[in-house]
Amino acid sequence: MYIAGFNVPFSPATDMDIPVFLSLSYVTYRNIKAAKSSMARASTEGGKIKPNTLPTTFVGKAVSPIHALAFFVPQLAYLVSVPLSGFKQPGWMLRCSLPSYDLTVNQQAGIRLLATGILLGIARFTMARLFSQLGSQLHGISRRENSKVVKHGFYSIVRHPMYSCVLVQEVLYGAMFWSYIPLAALPITAAAFAIKMPIEEGFILNDESTAEEYKAYKKDVPYRILPYIW
C-alpha cells in the first residue's frame, strides 16, 4: 500500500486493526475535547444546574452511567487491548468476532474501512454541529438556570439527535471491530435512552419557562430518535 508515495507494507488479513485503532483514537479525542469545550460554554452561558431538576429516583440517577458504560467500555477495551497485543485483536476479542458471511478478507477489510470512514465523518461534521447546536443547554438529566428549547439544525428532525448518533456509532463499531461486543452493548444503550428521554422531557415540561414551547416543539417534531420509527 502506498501512502504519500511510500510503499508501506499492509495486509488486510493482519493489519486492519491499525487504521481502525488510529481512527478510533482520533474520534475519541475529538469527542472528549468537543464535550469539554461545550460543557464549559454551557456552564457560562446556560448558568448552573437547577438543584430541583436533578433526578431523585434510583432509575433516574443510574440511567446515564449505564448508557455511558455501554457506549464507552467496548471502545476502551479495544483501545487498550489492541496496542498491547501488537496492534492486533487479542484472543478473547477474536472469540467475539462476527462470522465471515462468506466474504473474502479484502471484502471484510473494505467494510471495516467504510465504517471507519463514516465514523470519521460523523465525528468531524455531525457531532461537532450537534455540540454547537445544543450550545448552552448541554447537561445531563437536569435543567440549567437559563433554560431554552433547542429546535434548530438536527433538532428540527428528531428531538434527541445526539442519542441517534450514539446508536449509529455503536453499529459502526461493530463493523469496524468486526465484533459482537459493540452490538451486544447496543440494546443496553437503546433501552437506557428509552428510559432516560421521558425523564428528561418531563423536566422540560415541568419548567414554566419552557413548558409551552416544548409542547409545541413535540407536535412539530414528533420523533425522538429516528424519523417515522421512534
User: Rg of the chain's alpha carbons, rounded to an integer?
Assistant: 20
What is the per-residue pLDDT across 136-195, written as a single tens digit (0 to 9) for each? 777 767 777 777 888 888 989 999 999 999 999 999 999 999 999 999 999 999 999 999
Please state the rounded mean pLDDT for residues 13-30: 86
Residues ≥6 apart with Cβ < 8 Å to 142: 49, 50, 53, 54, 55, 203
Domain 17-220 has CATH 2.40.170.20: no
Report d(CA 144, CA 119) in Å as an integer: 31
Strand ranges for 21-147 from DSSP E: none
Report d(CA 181, CA 65) in Å as an integer: 18
Contact 110, 13 (CB under 8 A): no
